[in-house]
Structure 1
Amino acid sequence: MSQTLTTLGDRMLGVVSSSRRFIRIGLGALWVIDGALQLQPAMFTPSFPVNVVGPALQSLPNPIYEYSLSILQTYIIPHISIWNTLFAFLQLLIGVLILSNRHTLRTLGLTLSLVWSGFLWVFAEGLGGIYASTMSGGVFPGTPSLLNGFPGAALLYAWLSILLLIPEHKWRLEGVFSPIRDGAAALFAVSTLVQLSPLMWTAYGQASIFTANLD
């Protein structure tokens, strides 16, 4: 019996180790791809902050929106080439650090990934549009929906970073609910509940979402 339990324990450790490695390589590769895409010529023009960042800021609460818009117009747009170079370099650096074989560098990369993902989720993805859903009382372009990317890729990046920052020996896959195993499912369950909002079943609600995507 003890030998069987030991074998099962070893197998579980192997599953955890391989799963963590798979997630880490995937996350690191995504950051490298993001950094490479950030180097596209269009990203060095004002169209990037105006057409991508600006609309996302509209989903933020008004005080944060006004402050962020002021920063964008005053500091980012006039010097977009410099800022975009920094953004691309940071994302490439995060990816390379996460893919490193050295534990210290991986930890640094995952920490940067968590912080930068949180920043992007707020200012580049407008909190995934949550504010538009809970505070405005209506459906308009930017309303949370699985069809327009809710809850936001950056939030998933942050979640994966947190998972990988948790020490391997603290991963718990057993039990009725495991944050490690079921966290992503819970996140998408919440997203599904948002999608089932009564306004989402109206022609106006659906038209608003698709109009936002077309814009």
Structure 2
Amino acid sequence: MTTRSQPAARAVAVPSWPRGWRAAAGLTAVAAGALIITGALLPWVEAFAGLLPISGIRGGNGRELAAAGAVIAAAGIWQLARGGQAAHWLAGLAGFAAAGFAGYLLIQLVRTVRDLGGDSMVIARPGPGLPVVLAGSVAAFATLLFPPSAQATLRRDPGTRVFSWTADRESVGLRRALQIALGAVWLLDAALQYQPYMFTRGFPGMLAMAATGQPSIVAGPVTLTVQAVSANPAAWNAAFATIQLALAVGLLFRATARAALAGTVVWALSVWWLGEGLGGVFTTAASPLTGAPGAAVLYALLAVLAWPG
């Protein structure tokens, strides 16, 4: 009896691996940091048809992003080892800063390569490095939307077999009313997006108006979006309308309300930038009479206010 109980006692003393959303956030942060560092080491520009790759780490911008990746990975390791909200916020905010910086650099890189592309002596083209950095930065920022670290993950509702995190079964009163109202607004937006006119080339023409009078950091992504949508307006508009319809349905049902709120924040901020030009707040004519600061950012604010307690 004594010899069998001693190994059992020693086994109990071994620290257990962190579980739940703490483990998910920590592992995501570590992977995101490693992805950012990898992107900084990869070529950002390839000259002479790829014969001369230039990695991001050769410049100061690449080294700064690599340092941010190291900070994010270290924060993820700290969260796995010790937990706490400080590491959680450090990884998320560092990812937000890196995403903004990488997005700005990507816009400038596309413009520079476009100017150099006509030179037969250069024939430059973008490399994979910056998009990889941007993907890792967005993943790190996304950890801020993870539930509290003490909450278990991958729990299933025996009846609906839906991940429990996607549901909000506790919100009542004003909070639930805000969720339903936001769902109704998305339903109206989806109906307007499904209008026949929006499936024509008039749709990218409407998007192009958001770049008028904007600084390059705002107008650049809007212009790229317009170019992409112009290639196939019907398909893009169908996708946008379906996303808005899915958000509406998700908010109207409790089983998917939390996931729809998270999707609302991401989609509303994307529409605010790429569809509304940040509401025109950086133009000289910005005022409430001209629509500033934009309707889409108010959707994101409402989603935050309606987030489950």
> Cα gap change, 1:148/1:44 in structure 2, threshold over 3 Å: closer, same or farther?
same
- The reply on whether 1:40 has 2:195 as its aligned counterpart is yes
Say which SS state the counterpart of residue 165 (structure 1) adopts: coil
Amino acid of the structure 1 residue aligned with 2:219: Y
Note the C-alpha offset of 1:115. 0.5
> Does the 8 A contact of 1:60 with 1:127 survive in 2?
no
Note the C-alpha offset of 1:83. 0.4
Note the C-alpha offset of 1:48. 1.4
> Does the 8 A contact of 1:44 with 1:81 survive in 2?
yes
CA distance in 2, matches of 1:93, 1:123: 20
Aligned to 1:156: 298
Query: TM-score normalized by structure 1?
Result: 0.61
Note the C-alpha offset of 1:17. 3.1
Amino acid of the structure 1 residue aligned with 2:209: P
- The reply on whether 1:94 has 2:247 as its aligned counterpart is yes
- The reply on whether 1:111 has 2:275 as its aligned counterpart is no
More RCO (CA 8 Å, sep 6+): 1
- The reply on whether 1:17 has 2:147 as its aligned counterpart is no
Say which SS state the counterpart of residue 87 (structure 1) adopts: helix
> Does the 8 A contact of 2:207 with 2:222 survive in 1?
no
Q: Aligned runs of 1:26-65 on 2, under 5 Å?
A: 26-50=181-205, 52-65=206-219
Note the C-alpha offset of 1:30. 0.4
Note the C-alpha offset of 1:60. 3.6
> Does the 8 A contact of 2:265 with 2:299 survive in 1?
yes
- 1:125-156 Cα offsets, whole Å, 9 max, x none, are 111111114xxxxxxxxx21111212211011
> Cα gap change, 1:28/1:19 in structure 2, threshold over 3 Å: closer, same or farther?
same
Of 77, 82, 107, 2:235 maps to 82
Amino acid of the structure 2 residue aligned with 1:96: V
Aligned to 1:203: none
> Does the 8 A contact of 1:128 with 1:149 survive in 2?
yes
> Does the 8 A contact of 1:59 with 1:130 survive in 2?
no
Backbone CA RMSD of aligned residues: 1.6
CA distance in 1, matches of 2:218, 2:293: 19
Greater helix fraction, Structure 1 or Structure 2:
1
> Cα gap change, 1:67/1:163 in structure 2, threshold over 3 Å: closer, same or farther?
closer
CA distance in 1, matches of 2:220, 2:276: 16
Aligned to 2:286: 144
Identity of counterpart residues, as a percentage?
36
Of 276, 294, 299, 1:125 maps to 276
CA distance in 1, matches of 2:174, 2:308: 13
Amino acid of the structure 2 residue aligned with 1:127: L
CA distance in 1, matches of 2:297, 2:222: 19
Larger-gyration structure (1/2): 2
- 1:29-51 Cα offsets, whole Å, 9 max, x none, are 0001101110000000111111x
Note the C-alpha offset of 1:61. 2.2
Amino acid of the structure 1 residue aligned with 2:236: W
CA distance in 2, matches of 1:25, 1:67: 32
- 1:144-171 Cα offsets, whole Å, 9 max, x none, are 111121221101101001112251xxxx
Amino acid of the structure 1 residue aligned with 2:287: S
Query: Which stretches of structure 1, 4 residues or more, deviate above 3 A after TM superposition?
Result: none
Aligned to 2:226: 72
Q: Which runs of 5+ in 2 are unaligned?
A: 1-170
Q: Aligned runs of 1:162-181 on 2, under 5 Å?
A: 162-167=304-309
Query: TM-score normalized by structure 2?
Result: 0.43
> Does the 8 A contact of 2:200 with 2:234 survive in 1?
yes
Count of aligned pairs: 139
